[in-house]
């Protein structure tokens, strides 16, 4: 009877351990294995030079899901031969983080070995957790590599951002995805142990619909291979129909936990800018239905209200800011109504980018070194006595004038930066500026210049 409870010869061996997902098995081990990202990893690029010379500072890798942030961090560790410690913005707490940091400090002191601390989803760390990192990063106890799908300037503390180099990774192109898929089909670590034939249309479809996400593409390929029965000749034949089932293309191709779907937000913004409320509402619905953070949408509307509508309808900015408050106060799903209101208002408002373009022109002058001195009469003095002592007299208070306007120099250049359009309220502004220009010209005709041209005497002062 005891034989009934003893394992038979067939079942005596323990079952093999489950294989890791294909995406994990196919992680690159060298810089040459990494597909895409040539803008930061190509020959001669800064990040590649730093990795190869082992002269890395702390990094923040910013990009959409599946673009290779984690893989790049692991390749850096292998290439530089540094110790590699991994943490997660989702699972780690302050106590665990301190233990990792202290271990790195001890490793550096005792064995002189540097440590890379890789933190996935670093944007999920709260302020206290991010602050814990600062002293260790400053003293060089660890080389921090943070990975995030969110804009680090919004979601990571400024002190940590300022101590790190930020590199933005891009979604993989279709060619790069195809390269990875073919490599997985041939590699012994991938699907090379199977006899598989993938139709070219199937491969192209997967590369096209994975949205640049290598992890998603590889996992779909593995599902297709493992769930398709071999044909009579023992070959697993993957057709386009099989691949379409395997990728399970959602009704909405949108990862609700990320902010990396640039195409959709771009279409939304351009629809509002293009005065198409119908298209704008569709893209808004797609984002919110897929679970996009409504605050992200509200922030983009605030930017748009200033950049694309501006003074043509100044109420647009007020409404956009109010929508952000409504999102925080009401929450979803009702907050979508407020977002729909501001979206349609901005889409149907008169448009002007005059303020934005004026700022860009002034910014370019300052950036290129065309800085101008502050006129003496506009400088801060603190008192009339100080103004007289430093030669800063001469400022005229605009409200003392009949039309609350005086002709005086506010910047030593005649360059025009702001040119209001005839759209909406900017037509009123344009006419007002024209009126002031007439007042300015009349004032200049009625009095001698305050500053005669170089080499020309001021006739009001007489001869020396």
Per residue in 423-437, pLDDT tens?
Answer: 999 999 999 989 888
Hey, which residues does 167 pair with through a beta bridge?
A: 61
Domain 37-168 has CATH 3.40.50.1820: no
pLDDT at position 446 = 79
What's the length of the chain?
Answer: 464
Alpha helices in 352-414 (DSSP H): 354-367, 384-389
Is 406 exposed, middle or buried, given 0-12, 13-18 or 19+ CB atoms closer than 10 A? middle
Residues lower than pLDDT 70 in the chain: 1-18, 249-261, 290-291, 381-393, 448-464
CB 48 within 8 A of CB 42: yes
pLDDT at position 392 = 56
Tokens of 410: 């506010």
Tokens 């990862």 -> residue: 255
CB 186 within 8 A of CB 196: no
How many beta carbons lie within 10 A of that of residue 139, not counting itself? Answer: 10
pLDDT at position 17 = 57
pLDDT at position 16 = 54
Tokens 């929508």 -> residue: 323
Q: How far apart are the first and last CA of the chain?
A: 131
pLDDT at position 233 = 92
Q: 194: Cβ–Cβ under 8 A, 6 or more apart, which residues?
A: 225, 236
- Which among 116, 102, 99 has a CA at the least distance from the CA of 59? 116
Per residue in 339-389, pLDDT tens?
Answer: 999 999 999 999 999 999 999 999 998 888 888 888 888 777 655 555 565
CB 270 within 8 A of CB 277: no
Dihedral angle over CA of 346, 351, 356, 361, nearest 10: 170
pLDDT at position 251 = 36
- Integer Cα distance of 29 and 73 in angstroms: 10
- Which among 50, 56, 49 has a CA at the least distance from the CA of 115? 56
174-247 topology per CATH: Helicase, Ruva Protein; domain 3 (1.10.8)
371-445 topology per CATH: post-AAA+ oligomerization domain-like (1.10.3710)
Hey, which residues does 388 pair with through a beta bridge?
A: none
Per residue in 399-423, pLDDT tens?
Answer: 888 889 888 888 888 889 899 999 9
Domain boundaries, the chain: 37-168, 174-247, 262-348, 371-445
pLDDT at position 5 = 43
pTM, 2 dp: 0.54
CATH architecture of structural domain 262-348: Up-down Bundle (1.20)
């Amino acid at each position: 009877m005891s034989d009934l409870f003893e394992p038979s010869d067939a079942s005596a061996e323990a079952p093999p351990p489950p294989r890791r997902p294909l995406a994990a098995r196919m992680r690159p081990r060298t810089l040459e294995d990494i597909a895409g990202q040539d803008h930061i990893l190509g020959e001669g690029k800064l990040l590649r030079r730093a990795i190869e010379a082992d002269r890395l500072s702390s990094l923040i890798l910013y990009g959409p899901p599946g673009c290779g942030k984690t893989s790049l961090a692991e390749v850096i560790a292998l290439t530089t031969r540094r110790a590699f410690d991994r943490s997660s913005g989702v699972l780690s707490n302050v106590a665990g983080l301190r233990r990792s940091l202290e271990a790195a400090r001890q490793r550096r002191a005792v064995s002189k070995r540097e440590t890379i601390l890789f933190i996935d989803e670093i944007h999920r760390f709260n302020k206290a957790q991010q602050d814990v990192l600062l002293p260790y990063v400053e003293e060089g106890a660890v080389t921090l590599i943070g990975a995030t799908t969110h804009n680090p300037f919004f979601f990571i503390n400024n002190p940590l951002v300022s101590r790190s180099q930020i590199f933005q990774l891009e979604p993989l192109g279709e060619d790069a995805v195809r390269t990875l898929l073919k490599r997985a089909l041939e590699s012994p670590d991938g699907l090379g142990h199977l006899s598989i034939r993938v139709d070219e249309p199937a491969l192209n479809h997967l590369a096209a619909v994975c949205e640049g996400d290598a992890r998603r593409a590889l996992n779909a390929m593995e599902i297709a291979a493992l769930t398709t029965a071999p044909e009579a000749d023992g070959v697993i034949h993957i057709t386009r129909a099989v691949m379409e089932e395997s990728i399970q293309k959602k009704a909405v191709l949108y990862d609700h936990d990320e902010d990396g779907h640039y195409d959709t937000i771009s279409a939304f913004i351009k629809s509002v800018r293009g005065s198409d409320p119908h298209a704008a509402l569709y893209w808004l619905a797609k984002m919110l239905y897929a679970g996009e953070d409504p605050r992200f949408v509200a922030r983009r509307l605030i930017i748009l209200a200033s950049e694309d509508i501006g003074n043509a309808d100044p109420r647009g900015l007020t409404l956009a800011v109010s929508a952000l408050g409504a999102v925080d106060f009401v929450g979803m799903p009702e907050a979508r109504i407020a977002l729909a209101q501001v979206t349609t208002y901005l889409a149907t408002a008169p448009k002007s980018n005059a303020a934005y373009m004026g700022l860009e022109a002034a910014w370019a002058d300052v950036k290129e070194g065309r800085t101008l001195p502050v006129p003496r009469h506009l400088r801060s003095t603190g008192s009339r006595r100080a103004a007289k002592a430093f030669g800063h007299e001469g400022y005229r208070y605009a409200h003392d004038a009949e039309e609350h306007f005086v002709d005086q120099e506010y910047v030593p250049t005649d360059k025009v930066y702001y040119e209001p359009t005839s759209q909406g309220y900017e037509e009123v502004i344009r006419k007002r500026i024209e009126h002031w220009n007439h007042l300015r010209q009349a004032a200049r005709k009625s009095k001698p210049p305050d500053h005669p041209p170089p080499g020309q005497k001021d006739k009001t002062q007489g001869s020396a």
